[in-house]
Structure 1
Amino acid sequence: MTTLVTHSTLLTKRSLTALLRQPAFVLITLIQPAIWLLLFGALFEDVVQIPGFGTGGRSYLEFLTPGVVAMTALFSAAWAGTVYIEDMNLGVMDRLLASPVRRGAMINGTVVYQGIVSIVQTVVIILIAYAAGARFERPLVGTGLTFVSAALLTVVFAAMSNAVALLSRDQNALIGISQLLSLPLVFLSSAIMDPELAPTWLQNIATYNPLDWAVVVSREGLSTSTDWAAVWPRLGALAALAVVMSSLATQAFRAYQRSA
């Protein structure tokens, strides 16, 4: 266990060091969510006036903030596998697999790194939303739940991205699958629109959408009266899915080695 933690820490540090050496990329990862928040917030500002839009008295900006947090976590995590593709092309992956490094640590290093990036992005989004006029009734509880849900969502999709990278070994395939999943998951959720205004079939799909689970957890946490009956099952489902996807990603190393 100690070895796994040590290897995971070292690989996480490796990824963070590489990120800090690319200040332009760091800036983009922080600016893009701000653009989404301010652009969508201004564009759909009056949508809360639609009868049946259940904001509970909140502004659209307050409704939107949890959605932008989840969207940012999803989009960032979906590209996690590009690091593996680069390592494969440079021969780093083969050297790592030939070393005593634990396979689980290789997955942990990537998803922990993505989780840290997600938390930083979440902090920036909430601060921008606050500066733009959003006010949340329970900021401490809500922010804590937002961090947890965003981190779990990140683990789910970062692990999936890593598995796709290991199995396909092709950046174009990874990008294609990421694009294929990302936008539909956003629009099949309550990230930017109240699902009560959507068709019944879309509402049904949203209940099985991990992105929507994270949005609901965050939005309920930031609301005046948190519906814990809606929060705990979704947090549990996100945690269970994160474990499953991490396990599958670890197993994907075997398929990669067999086909090497």
Structure 2
Amino acid sequence: MSAIVQTGLLAARAGRGTLRIPVFAVMNLVQPLLWLLLFGQLFTRVVEIPGFSSGGGSYLEFITPGVVMMTAMFGAAWAGTGFVEDAERGVLDRELASPASRGAMQVASLAWFSVVSVVQALFVLGVAWLCGARFDGGLTGVLVMLVAVVLLTCVFAALSNAVALLTRQQQALIGVSQLLTIPLMFLSSAVMDTQLSASWVETAAKYNPFDWAVVAGREALSGATDWGVVWGRLGLLAALVVVMTWLATGAFRAYQRSS
């Protein structure tokens, strides 16, 4: 059986596990809606602050790419839950003893969470459009933003999977997820222009993979896209995906040694 077929079958298994509990699927759509509407209403007049780089658009248009990426990052941070549950039930040990490759097991998880993130992103964009947001980047901008969504999802899903395999504990996974995602969100331009923040926040955002995705998505959706910035950020994310996937796949060996 080829690695592609293995990946497809394992991704389908992950999808069935998610869809068997519809409440999680519903929450995955409700949560970004709350982010979008609450933040969008609370900070409507922020664009009136001198120096705010909204490009002349509304705050809703500014925050939409941020909410899309926040949803992708927070959702991907829970990817390791599947490995923790499989380890507790003994399923993971049987999979590791099967002909399935470690790479296929890892990529299947990333693929499924990428699908979920893309659906959420389209949902957020649809709600934003209904609320009056308009994006001059058109279909090309949306497609490029979805590429950023997939890359960001893979980075954090791989990280989550690595933590799950190394710790085998749901509590540790939750702790690490909270420790990383919340600071990364606020050290970015997701909800506020970093030019209006302290200088150290603006500096930190330059090295923040979450902000790379936000900037790439926002630039792609804008009418005056700086494609050099977009491709630069996407390139950094792609390189990080390769590194994180390699590390997460290697975590299977650590898991087996500690069994």
The answer on 1:251 being equivalent to 2:250 is yes
Q: CA deviation at 1:211?
A: 0.6
Give the aligned partner of residue 183 of structure 2.
184
Q: Distance in 2 between matches of 1:206 and 1:159?
A: 21
Residue in structure 2 matched with residue 30 of structure 1 by the alignment: 29
Separation in 2, partners of 1:23, 1:243: 32
Q: Which runs of 4+ in 1 moved over 3 A?
A: none
* Distance of 1:42 and 1:109 partners within structure 2: 38
CA distance in 2, matches of 1:21, 1:40: 31
Correspondence for 1:100: 99
What is the CA-CA distance between 1:228 and the residue it aligns to?
A: 1.1
Give me the TM-score of the superposition, normalised by structure 1.
Answer: 0.98
Instruction: Answer yes or no: is 1:202 the counterpart of 2:207.
Output: no
Fraction of identical pairs, as percent:
56
* Counterpart secondary structure, 2:2: helix
Structure 1 residue 19 displacement after superposition: 1.5
2:238 aligned partner:
239
Aligned to 2:85: 86
Q: Distance in 2 between matches of 1:84 and 1:6?
A: 20
What secondary structure does 2:54 align onto?
coil
Gaps of 5+ in 1: none
Q: 3-state DSSP class of the match of 1:97?
A: helix
Structure-to-structure mapping, 1:27-176, within 5 angstroms: 27-176=26-175
Question: What is the CA distance between 1:199 and its match in structure 2?
Answer: 1.2
Residue in 1 that maps onto 2:226: 227
Amino acid at match of 2:199: T
C-alpha distance in 1, partners of 2:162/2:156? 10
Q: CA deviation at 1:222?
A: 0.7
Report the Cα offset of residue 9 of structure 1: 0.3
Letter matched to residue 240 of structure 2? L
Aligned length: 259
What do residues 218-254 of structure 1 show as CA deviations (whole Å, max 9, x unaligned)? 1001111100121111100000000110000000000
- Find the aligned partners of 1:156 and 1:46 in 2 and give their Cα distance: 33
1:139 deviation in Å? Answer: 2.0
Q: CA-atom RMSD, angstroms? A: 0.7
1:14 counterpart = 2:13: yes
Q: Take 1:233 and 1:218, find their aligned partners in 2: how far apart are those partners?
A: 12
